[in-house]
Amino acid sequence: MELRPVRVEDVSACLEVFFVSLDELHARLGQPPMPRNPESTANALRHLVESDPESCWLAESDERVVGFGLAHRRDDHWYLAFLFILPSEQGRGVGRALLEACLGKPPTIDPTRRSVVVEAIQPVSTALYAQYGMVPRDPLYVFTGEIRQGALPDGEAALEGAGLTAEEFTGLREQAQADIDALDRRVVGWIRHPEHQFLDIPDRRAFLYRRGGDVVGYGYVQRSGRIGPICAREPTDLLPLATHLLGPTRPPGAWQVIVPGSAAVLFPALLRAGLRIDGPPAIFCSSWDGPAFDRYVPMNFAYG
């Protein structure tokens, strides 16, 4: 087995490892297979390889990709987005070798700022990450379904009741960048220009939220029904922001929102509105306290 950096042309091989390993895990545990969205997943892999190639590694055996790990560094924070090994190669130290390759050699990063999200049905992976300081912190639940008519207030009314206004924006407008950076640093824990640029695509709408003249939040909604990220300066603003984002778009299928367990107001409100918990949670594991999940909804498990 050999380790080498991932190249963009390796994305399709990594995608195959991702789906094969996930399908085997879910089948072995009697869980239904996860729905596949190869185009979206390939875009996520490609974004990571292009934005931080030094943190992306793969394992090859007989010129075949048998595992890969993709991470990214933002400020002094390191985040492991993907680490997947073919079932036939598991238990041979491939995962640990890839993890250490993605981490790099100290003092490349601050070892006290490492994070990963792992499915709750993966105790072996959870144990591996804990050995590198990334211990379980907060459960993240996938909510899916339809909002019952009248179950949530009108989005504009929800904002008005909270003293908020919304303006739609495309990408990182120059005049808003400093405000978004301040929110990310305060709530998420790191600044992430590459992720905001990645989210700037035609089928996704983005909103900036103000109270008076101050920017106090932002949020994204995809036309397919995926919500997030949502970032609010105050925990009490998370629900009105989410309610507004659920308003301007009518998805062709179900809504999907990743709801942290500590989002104590948003969690029951979305359940009462008709969404349901879809499967076991994932767990945010970290060597630090992590984002303020009482005021933050992540975009997915790969970017936090």
Residue 108: pLDDT band by 50, 70, 90 thresholds? low
Task: Specify whether the CB–CB gap between 94 and 67 falls below 8 A.
Answer: yes
Closest CA to 277 of 294, 299, 255: 255
172 has pLDDT over 70 = no
Q: CATH number for the 2-111 domain, one of 3.90.960.10, 3.40.50.300, 1.10.3720.10, 3.40.630.30?
A: 3.40.630.30
31 has pLDDT over 90 = no
Own/partner contacts of 86-93, CB < 8 Å, gap of 24 or more, are 86/17, 86/20, 86/21, 87/20, 87/21, 87/24, 89/1, 89/59, 89/61, 90/21, 92/1
Average pLDDT over residues 208-228: 93
Residue 203: pLDDT band by 50, 70, 90 thresholds? confident
Distance separating alpha carbons of residues 78 and 113, to the nearest angstrom: 6
Distance separating alpha carbons of residues 73 and 86, to the nearest angstrom: 26
Domain 143-280's class?
alpha beta
Q: What is the widest separation between alpha-carbon atoms in the chain?
A: 62
Residue 303: pLDDT band by 50, 70, 90 thresholds? confident
DSSP strands (E only) in 27-177: 56-61, 64-74, 77-85, 114-119, 135-145, 165-169
264 has pLDDT over 50 = yes
pLDDT at 112: 67
- DSSP code of residue 147: P
9 has pLDDT over 60 = yes
Among the ranges given (41-55, 159-173, 274-288), the one the predictor scored with the smallest mean pLDDT: 159-173
23 has pLDDT over 90 = no
Do 2-111 and 143-280 share a fold? yes
pLDDT at 38: 80
Q: Tokens 């130290």 identify what position?
A: 93
Q: What is the pTM of this model?
A: 0.92
pLDDT at 107: 46
Residue spans per domain, the chain: 2-111, 143-280
Q: Residue 247 is which amino acid?
A: G
Q: Tokens 């943190």 identify what position?
A: 55
Share of the chain above pLDDT 70, in %: 95
pLDDT at 131: 94
Residue 111: pLDDT band by 50, 70, 90 thresholds? low
pLDDT at 39: 87
Number of Cβ within 10 Å of residue 24's Cβ equals 15
The encoded tokens of residue 268 equal 């029951």
Distance separating alpha carbons of residues 230 and 199, to the nearest angstrom: 12
The encoded tokens of residue 31 equal 């869980």
Query: What integer best gives the mean pLDDT of the chain?
Result: 91
Q: Tokens 């995926």 identify what position?
A: 226
Provide DSSP, 16-68. HHHHHHHHHHHHHTTPPPPPP-HHHHHHHHHHHHHH-GGGEEEEEETTEEEEE
Pick the more confident residue, 27 or 107: 27
